[in-house]
């Protein structure tokens, strides 16, 4: 059976059949939601804690909605209201949460690897990475994959151009890994200062010219300039950046005529994307990405809850440690 993971810490270890299991389940949730049908309550009796050490609109709100729609008891804790502000460490926060016995723990953290560390410290609990530093944002890559599959009918043999601030982007990394695994061709496009050295080794092509990178692309995925993760000036000015790398009608004309335009949000209109392009529903699927975000998060919560219950059942029968 696919998707046997105890946690969702990244897409790196997902096989194509795991990705398909998530997307098929999510597709069903999305269709039922459009028809106004409920999803049942497979998370009834489970407690989901959302722990956000960084700001978020889309991920936090959609994880909360997803858990509630599936019947979980959901508590969301932002760092502004937690004792982290008083100097509590990540490990002490984990031990405190452990004592409350959550079943599903959704974590966003500014440090790469912090969510993995937490997953080793909490007991009998499935951990979901909602974005850790520059490392991974697995549910973003999965919701992007679902959005692409709905628009294009497949994930293989597509040309996907991921453009902008690649160096600081966990979205770019997770999408690159997942789309490469699903046999799409991935191009990374951006100024040399925002392209990590040696990134080609992950199986992508690299372009410094938008016109070349977008040529014939089926999918154009724009990224925000992540100023909060930058040290020093990596671009001359936002005006110059938009001129060379902002997606406008002239640059988009280089892509395939039926291309789709994506952006994980939050968007900086007039910096990495022209507002008119973002709103043009002939190409833009940005609002669909948000809609698919709820469906994908419902799917991963449901699959991890299934694995958790099975593991607890095995443990109760003395058939091995939890997740063993």
Interface with ligand CP by CB under 6 A: which range of 51-59, 70-78, 203-211, 272-280? 51-59
Shortest separation between residue 252's beta carbon and ligand CP, angstroms: 21
Q: Which is nearer to ligand CP, 271 or 308 (CB)?
A: 271
DSSP state of 258: T
Give the Å distances, CA to CA, from 100 to 8, 95, 180, 290: 21, 9, 39, 31
- The least CB distance from residue 238 to ligand CP, in Å, is 20
How many Cβ atoms from other residues are within 10 Å of residue 116's Cβ?
A: 18
Among 2, 28, 110, 265, binds ligand CP (CB under 6 A): 265
Distance CA 91, CA 127 (A): 14
CA dihedral 27→33→34→35, nearest 10 degrees, is: 110
67 binds ligand CP (CB under 6 A): no
Q: Please tell me whether residue 58 binds ligand CP under the rule CB under 6 A.
A: yes
Binding residue for ligand CP, selected from 266, 270, 275, 313, defined by CB under 6 A:
266
Residue 247 CB, shortest distance to ligand CP, in Å, is: 17
Q: Which of 12, 45, 57, 200 binds ligand CP (CB under 6 A)?
A: 57
**Minimum Å distance from CB 268 to ligand CP?**
13
Q: Is the peptide bond before 54 cis (omega within 30 degrees of 0)?
A: no
Choice between 75 and 95, CB closer to ligand CP:
75
Q: Closest distance between ligand CP and the C-beta of residue 264, in Å?
A: 4
In the complex, minimum distance from the CB of residue 21 to ligand CP, in angstroms, rounded to a whole number: 23
CA 27, CA 147: separation in Å to the nearest integer? 10
End-to-end CA distance of the chain: 16
Residues 132-151 that bind ligand CP (CB under 6 A): 140
Sheet containing strand 205-207, edge to edge, reads: 205-207, 185-189, 159-163, 219-222, 260-262
Residue 287 within binding range of ligand CP, rule CB under 6 A: no
Residues 4 and 275: their CA atoms lie apart, in Å, by 41
191 vs 264 by CB, closer to ligand CP = 264
Stretch that binds ligand CP, among 17-25, 97-105, 182-190, 260-268 (CB under 6 A): 260-268
Three-state SS at 186 = strand
Contact between 56 and ligand CP by CB under 6 A: the answer reads: yes
Work out how close the CB of 44 gets to ligand CP at its nearest, in angstroms, rounded to a whole number.
Answer: 26
What is the rounded CA–CA span in Å between residue 241 and residue 243? 5
Residue 228 tokens read as 């909060």
State which residue, 266 or 270, has the beta carbon closest to ligand CP: 266
Show contacts with ligand CP in window 96-135 (CB under 6 A).
Answer: 131
Please report whether residue 59 would count as binding ligand CP according to CB under 6 A: yes
> Other C-beta atoms within 10 Å of 264: how many?
27
Stretch that binds ligand CP, among 50-58, 91-99, 174-182, 316-324 (CB under 6 A): 50-58
CB-based contact 206:199 (threshold 8 Å): yes
Q: Residue 135 has which token pair?
A: 């490392």
Strand-pairing partners, residue 162, are 188, 221
User: 262 or 311, CB closer to ligand CP?
Assistant: 262
**In whole angstroms, how close is the CB of 53 to ligand CP at the nearest point?**
12
Distance CA 247, CA 188 (A): 14
42 binds ligand CP (CB under 6 A): no
**What whole-number distance in Å separates Cα of residue 288 and Cα of residue 147?**
7
Binding of residue 264 to ligand CP (CB under 6 A): yes
Residues in contact with ligand CP by the rule CB under 6 A: 56-59, 131, 140, 264-266
């Amino acid at each position: 059976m696919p998707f046997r993971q105890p946690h969702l810490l990244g897409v790196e270890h997902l096989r194509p059949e795991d990705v398909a299991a998530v997307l098929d389940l999510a597709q069903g949730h999305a269709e039922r939601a459009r028809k106004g049908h409920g999803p049942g309550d497979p998370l009834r009796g489970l407690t989901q804690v959302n722990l956000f050490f960084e700001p978020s609109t889309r991920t936090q709100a959609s994880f909360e909605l997803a858990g509630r729609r599936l019947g979980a008891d959901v508590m969301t804790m932002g760092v502004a209201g937690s004792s982290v502000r008083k100097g509590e460490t990540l490990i002490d926060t984990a031990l405190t949460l452990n004592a409350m016995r959550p079943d599903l723990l959704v974590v966003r953290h500014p440090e790469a690897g912090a969510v993995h560390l937490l997953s080793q410290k909490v007991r009998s609990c499935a951990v979901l990475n909602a974005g850790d530093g520059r490392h991974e944002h697995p549910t973003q890559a999965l919701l992007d994959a679902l959005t692409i599959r709905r628009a294009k009918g497949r994930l293989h043999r597509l040309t996907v151009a991921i453009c902008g601030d690649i160096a600081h982007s966990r979205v770019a990394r997770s999408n690159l890994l997942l789309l490469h695994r699903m046999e799409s061709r991935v191009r990374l496009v951006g100024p040399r200062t925002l392209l990590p050295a040696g990134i080609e080794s992950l199986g992508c092509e690299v372009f410094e010219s938008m016109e070349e990178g977008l040529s014939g692309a089926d999918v154009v995925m724009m990224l925000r300039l992540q100023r909060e993760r930058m040290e020093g000036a990596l671009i001359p000015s936002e005006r110059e950046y938009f001129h060379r790398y902002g997606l406008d009608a002239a640059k988009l004309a280089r892509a395939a005529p039926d291309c789709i335009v994506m952006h994980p949000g939050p968007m900086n209109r007039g910096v990495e994307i022209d507002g008119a392009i973002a709103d043009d529903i002939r190409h833009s699927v940005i609002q669909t990405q948000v809609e698919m975000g709820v469906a994908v998060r419902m799917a991963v919560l449901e699959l991890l809850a299934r694995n958790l219950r099975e593991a607890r059942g095995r443990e109760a029968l003395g058939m091995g440690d939890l997740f063993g």
